[in-house]
Amino acid sequence: MTTPFGANAPVLTFALRIAGLHPQLPAPAGLGTNAYEPNELSLCFTSPADVEAWREALHVPSDTVRFELRNSGIYIGFRHDVEGIQIDAFVLFDSPELTEAIAKAAALKDEVGV
pTM: 0.80
- Residue 72 confidence (pLDDT) above 90: no
Nearest in space to 64 (alpha carbons), one of 55, 72, 74: 55
Task: Categorize the per-residue pLDDT at 114 as very low, low, confident or very high, splitting at 50, 70 and 90.
Answer: low
Per-residue pLDDT, averaged over 29-38, amounts to 92
* Domain layout of the chain by residue ranges: 5-112
pLDDT tens digits for range 57-67: 999 999 999 99
Q: How many CA atoms lie within 13 A of 83 on its CB side?
A: 11
Task: Categorize the per-residue pLDDT at 99 as very low, low, confident or very high, splitting at 50, 70 and 90.
Answer: low
